Structure 1
Amino acid sequence: MPNSATYGPRDLDRALEEGHRCGFAVVNGVPVGVYELDLTQEVPEIEGIALQKDVRGQGLGRELLWGTMALLAEAGFDRCKLLVASDNESAFSLYRRTSFKAAGIRSKWFRMLPN
């Protein structure tokens, strides 16, 4: 996922709970991306959108974002929210071009390097 988290059994169970949706972006029968939605809040959250590195820069992120927003609209929601790491400039730019605006900083993220 975008925050580089490694999914374990608990994470997968949570993603599959009622009120959550997840799925894949598929190109030529091959999964190249994922999305995860949390529909349990008044304003649903796009919890994650991620693409494999080799397919980035081809407009698939925009298509996946629009697709997740369409799923939310089909579920009856007229708005949504998401979080993005401050150093993920390409995602931040995509979200701004797709009608999102920065509403604040929720927490600080740190880049960690080995000693």
Structure 2
Amino acid sequence: METPHILVIPYPALGHVIPLMELSSCLLKHGFQITFVNMEFNHQNAMDILAQKEEDVGDRIRLVSVPDEIGSTKERKQPGKISEAILQTMPGKVEELVEDINESERKIKCLIADQILG
């Protein structure tokens, strides 16, 4: 039987990324394939979190980022810019990612998303 492929999408803040990273680690133990989605601006943070885990899951959780389309670092610090990117950019980019994965790899069977994403 083929192991299910799960797409995990946290709200891009550490208080949301870390718990879903922990859940993803638990799902790995049960044989699931995990693709973990981040927005471009917090992708490195997620990679750092994964690298610090005691157990070696780094090569089994596939971390991918979707563009946030926020221009400069200065813009990222403007109140509301990240929330705007999440609401306006993320849905379309995640849909494109799912289509790309389903065409080229094992199809995604399940989506786990942070409830704050709506």
Coarse TM-score class (shorter-chain normalised): 0.3 to 0.5
Q: Which structure features the higher share of helix residues? A: 2
Higher relative contact order (CA 8 A, sep 6+): 2
TM superposition score normalised by structure 1 = 0.34
Instruction: Provide TM-score, normalisation by structure 2.
Output: 0.34
